[in-house]
């Protein structure tokens, strides 16, 4: 004869209600490092991004003609590298180089950008004689769970406005996770 298990208060684990919705959690999608320029300066920037990230950067070309700047269609005008895995680690290094200070006007919806004046300010980087002194731009893009719904090709859907990450949410995220100061 089988005995029935009786559920008592001790055996039943109640799930504690979570105050925060996991779908509203903010995550770093990617960190983009870029350097603009033409000619020899662009080649030096390309080498620099390769040294910093250990990835192969891609060069960007112009689509417009701007005679006052000497830009024509098809001219290489910048180099860029996107980091998805290890983005948080590289962001920490870049924030140390920026003295862990950001301006509120650098914030936008879903992202923020800042510049680093000299690459030798990045921890672990040494001066490279063939490159010289050079700065770079850093862009950090954020996302929430469910962003793929808008990006996928098959059965694409719309995302409500509440999925957008506001300036204030980015500022709070950076203060809590990276101890960043804002001016």
CATH number of the CATH domain containing 29:
3.30.1440.10
- Per-residue pLDDT of 41-61, as tens digits, reads 999 999 999 999 999 999 999
Q: Taking 70 as the threshold, does the pLDDT of residue 27 lie above it? A: yes
CB 118 within 8 A of CB 134: yes
Share the mean pLDDT of the chain: 89
Q: Which of 182, 106, 103 is nearest to 140 (CA)?
A: 106
Note if the pTM is more than 0.85.
no
pLDDT band at 136 (very low <50, low <70, confident <90, very high): very high
Q: Which of 68, 82, 71 is nearest to 38 (CA)?
A: 71
Element (H, E) at 27: strand 26-36
| Predicted pLDDT of residue 1 | 58
| Predicted pLDDT of residue 11 | 57
- The residue-averaged pLDDT of 108-121 equals 93
Q: Does a structural domain hold residue 72?
A: yes
Q: Taking 60 as the threshold, does the pLDDT of residue 12 lie above it? A: no
Q: Does a structural domain hold residue 154?
A: yes
pLDDT band at 171 (very low <50, low <70, confident <90, very high): very high
Q: Does a structural domain hold residue 71?
A: yes
Q: Taking 70 as the threshold, does the pLDDT of residue 8 lie above it? A: no
**What pairing do the DSSP bridges indicate for beta strands 76-83 and 101-102?**
unpaired
| Predicted pLDDT of residue 174 | 92
E strand spans, 45-99? 58-61, 76-83
- Per-residue pLDDT of 60-93, as tens digits, reads 999 999 999 888 999 999 999 999 999 999 999 9
Domain of residue 163: give its range. Answer: 24-182
| Predicted pLDDT of residue 95 | 92
| Predicted pLDDT of residue 87 | 93
Percentage of the chain exceeding pLDDT 90: 68
Separation of alpha carbons 178 and 183, rounded Å: 15
Please state the domain count of the chain: 1
Q: Does a structural domain hold residue 64?
A: yes
Q: Does a structural domain hold residue 2?
A: no
| Predicted pLDDT of residue 22 | 85
Q: Taking 70 as the threshold, does the pLDDT of residue 13 lie above it? A: no
| Predicted pLDDT of residue 173 | 93
Q: Does a structural domain hold residue 152?
A: yes
| C-alpha dihedral (117, 120, 124, 127), degrees to nearest 10 | 150
| Predicted pLDDT of residue 6 | 64
């Amino acid at each position: 004869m089988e005995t029935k298990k009786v559920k008592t208060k001790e055996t039943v684990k109640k799930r504690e209600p979570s105050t925060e919705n996991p779908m509203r959690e903010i995550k770093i999608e990617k960190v983009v490092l870029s350097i603009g320029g033409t000619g020899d300066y662009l080649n030096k920037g390309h080498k620099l991004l390769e040294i910093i990230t250990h990835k192969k950067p891609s060069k960007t070309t112009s689509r417009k003609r701007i005679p006052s700047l000497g830009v024509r269609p098809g001219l290489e005008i910048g180099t860029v590298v996107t980091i998805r895995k290890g983005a948080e680690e590289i962001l920490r290094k870049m924030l140390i180089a920026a003295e862990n200070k950001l301006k509120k006007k650098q914030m936008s919806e879903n992202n923020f950008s800042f510049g680093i004046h000299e690459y030798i300010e990045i921890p672990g980087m040494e001066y490279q004689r063939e490159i010289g002194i050079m700065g770079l731009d850093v862009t950090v893009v954020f996302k929430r769970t469910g962003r793929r719904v808008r990006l996928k090709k098959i059965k694409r859907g719309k995302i409500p406005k509440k999925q957008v990450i506001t300036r204030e949410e980015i500022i709070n995220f950076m203060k809590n996770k990276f101890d960043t100061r804002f001016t």
